[in-house]
């Protein structure tokens, strides 16, 4: 019987580029922070407490992973902070619960603002470093607006997807279609397709994130299912 290591990705810190790291909450441990010589941790999840490590700069941006959250209003502060730390030879870890939506959104915006990548290029690049990134569609809309503000153009557009029956960013269309096809073959509930459109209401799987004190349980169904699908394929 094949063992499904459903949480492996959440134990990992991924280096997106020199000095810039992305992870979920489970990976934020003292040993990992020291291993990667992280000097600043930016916690973007309202659910998660800081990891108390002496001599470590900890920044809290308490955001929910909701399509209705205004994440863009934090762009200037967070992006400038990341750039400042890297320019001064530091190493910064940006994380949320899964390391897929909130924290990934900040990394994508950072690459656009300070490295000249358009949104499509940034998404493909970060996806190659951390395969589970999937900003919710509300965050994607704000990233598109941010891209238009910086470059005067849009490299990503919302298109109607017949398979998911909603408007989605075209850059995720093929992967979402493939995921839904695999879920269908496995008999997994179809409403999982709306996870990032903001309409899913019931979790399929959940787990507790390791933290210095108990925290609320976190819905990470689609990511756990992605690993299950990859294992079963």
Question: Do 67 and 59 contact (CB within 8 A), yes or no?
Answer: no
What is residue 188's predicted lDDT score, i.e. its pLDDT?
Answer: 62
The mean per-residue pLDDT over the stretch 195-211 comes to 34
**Per residue in 7-28, pLDDT tens?**
478 889 999 999 999 999 999 9
Whose tokens are 């998404």? That residue is 123
* pLDDT level of residue 183 (50, 70, 90 thresholds): confident
What is residue 219's predicted lDDT score, i.e. its pLDDT?
Answer: 36
The answer to the question of residue 178 being in a domain is yes
Residue 160 has pLDDT above 60, yes or no: yes
The answer to the question of residue 3 being in a domain is no
The answer to the question of residue 1 being in a domain is no
Q: Which residue out of 96, 205, 218, 232 is catalytically annotated?
A: 96
The answer to the question of residue 179 being in a domain is yes
Active site residue 96: yes
Residue 43: give the domain boundaries. Answer: 8-232
The mean per-residue pLDDT over the stretch 168-173 comes to 94
The answer to the question of residue 15 being in a domain is yes
Domain count of the fold of the chain: 1
* pLDDT level of residue 196 (50, 70, 90 thresholds): low
DSSP H or E stretch at residue 229: helix 221-232
Determine which of 31-35, 48-52, 208-212 has the lowest per-residue pLDDT on average: 208-212
The answer to the question of residue 2 being in a domain is no
Question: Does the predicted model carry a pTM greater than 0.85?
Answer: no
Residue 212 has pLDDT above 70, yes or no: no
What is residue 4's predicted lDDT score, i.e. its pLDDT?
Answer: 33
Residue 220 has pLDDT above 60, yes or no: no
* pLDDT level of residue 217 (50, 70, 90 thresholds): very low
The answer to the question of residue 81 being in a domain is yes
What is residue 197's predicted lDDT score, i.e. its pLDDT?
Answer: 57
The answer to the question of residue 84 being in a domain is yes
Query: CATH no. for residue 84?
Result: 3.90.190.10
């Amino acid at each position: 019987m094949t063992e499904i290591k459903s949480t492996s990705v959440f134990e990992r810190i991924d280096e997106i580029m020199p000095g810039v790291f992305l992870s979920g909450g489970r990976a934020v441990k003292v040993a990992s922070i020291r291993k990667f010589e992280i000097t600043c941790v930016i916690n973007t999840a309202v659910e998660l407490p800081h990891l108390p490590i002496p001599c470590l700069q900890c920044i809290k941006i308490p955001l929910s992973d909701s399509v209705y959250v205004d994440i863009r209003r934090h762009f200037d502060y967070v992006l400038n902070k990341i750039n400042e730390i890297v320019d001064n030879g530091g190493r910064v870890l940006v994380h949320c619960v899964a390391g897929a939506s909130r924290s990934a959104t900040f990394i994508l915006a950072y690459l656009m603002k300070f490295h000249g990548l358009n949104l499509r290029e940034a998404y493909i690049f970060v996806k190659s470093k951390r395969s589970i990134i999937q900003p919710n569609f509300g965050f994607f809309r704000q990233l598109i607006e941010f891209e238009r503000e910086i470059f005067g153009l849009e490299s990503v557009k919302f298109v109607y997807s017949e398979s998911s029956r909603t408007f989605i960013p075209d850059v995720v269309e093929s992967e979402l279609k493939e995921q839904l096809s695999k879920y269908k073959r496995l008999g997994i509930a179809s409403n999982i397709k709306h996870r990032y459109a903001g309409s899913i209401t019931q979790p399929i799987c959940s787990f507790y994130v390791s933290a210095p004190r108990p925290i609320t349980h976190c819905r990470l169904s689609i990511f756990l299912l992605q690993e299950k699908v990859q294992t079963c394929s």
